[in-house]
Amino acid sequence: MEVLELTATQFLKSMSTGRNHPLLLGCENASGNKFEVVVKLRGREMDEKAQMAELLTAQLADDLGLQAPQAALVNVPAGFEAIIPGHELAKLVKGSPGLNFGSVHLGAGFTTWPPGRNPVGAQRDQAADIFAFDTLIQNPDRRAVNPNLWARSDRLGVYDHEQAFSFLSLPIIGGAPKPWVAASHGNGFRFLEQHVFYGNLRGGRLNLGPFKEKLGALTDKRIQGYLETVPAGWLGQSDFGGQVAGYFCEARQQREGLVNLVKHILR
């Protein structure tokens, strides 16, 4: 996945969904090509670590064969708040100058996945891959009441990953839980019982071979490439990006244990 570098030029609307109330902005690249981009501005729970989580997981999802909107780094110019309607939104924009994470808008022909719908046919294998992906990134935010999924024809896609890798931000006694270490399971992965596909996939056939193969194909160079897309201004004093990259490398080596945990949870 190419990460686009864009500049916001136009306010289109405030999105009605999402805890961060993202904005749909008209943007342009250096060649003047136009894009409509859903932008999550810093603030409203979107600190630099959340922005990095979004950027890194978008690229990982693409490499693992999942459908994800194209990621973008959107420069919000100083003074852009002058065209934003509403005091609170304008205040948020004013406090978020520079680069913010964005996803290219999917456009027509897609629907958001409604709570209660079950995947059928070819969607079941995609649902299993999404469940394995959320186990890998330890994402608690794809719940039945808030799927954070989209569909186009028989294809399923994912978005909203700012809560991924929260174990790297929070102090955890004994260190971060790892899906491939049985001793670390305990209650560390109980959040998956709230996953949108947990009930539907339990006791069924799981074809996770392609997912495991794609995870095994990730190279150190490719993982390092994810980090090279992170703006310097997001890095701060922590090594969050480096920790995530190290976690990806270990996951690649321990992919069999990861898949075994998924199968155990969905037995």
Over residues 194-237, the pLDDT tens digits come to: 999 999 999 999 999 999 999 999 999 999 999 999 999 998 87
Q: Structurally, how many domains does the chain consist of?
A: 2
238 shares its domain with 207: yes
234 shares its domain with 256: yes
pLDDT at 173: 44
Q: What is the span of the domain harbouring residue 46?
A: 4-104
48 shares its domain with 74: yes
CA separation for the pair 134, 70 (Å, rounded): 19
77 shares its domain with 120: no
Residue 66 has pLDDT above 60, yes or no: yes
Residue 181 has pLDDT above 90, yes or no: no
121 shares its domain with 233: yes
Contact call for residues 60 and 226 (beta carbons, < 8 A): yes
Contact call for residues 8 and 26 (beta carbons, < 8 A): yes
CA separation for the pair 248, 60 (Å, rounded): 9
pLDDT at 176: 62
pLDDT at 44: 66
What are the φ/ψ torsions at residue 170 (nearest 5 degrees)?
-105, 140
251 shares its domain with 137: yes
pLDDT at 37: 98
Over residues 17-58, the pLDDT tens digits come to: 656 679 999 999 999 999 999 999 987 678 999 999 999 999
97 shares its domain with 207: no
99 shares its domain with 184: no
Close Cβ partners of 262 (under 8 Å, ≥ 6 residues apart):
128, 131, 132, 135, 179, 206, 208
Averaged pLDDT, 259-266: 94
Separation of first and last alpha carbons in the chain: 33
Over residues 76-125, the pLDDT tens digits come to: 999 999 999 999 999 999 999 999 999 999 988 889 998 888 998 899 99
CA separation for the pair 98, 237 (Å, rounded): 19
Residue 63 has pLDDT above 90, yes or no: yes
Which helix (H) or strand (E) element contains residue 228? Answer: helix 220-228
Residue type, 192: L
237 shares its domain with 212: yes
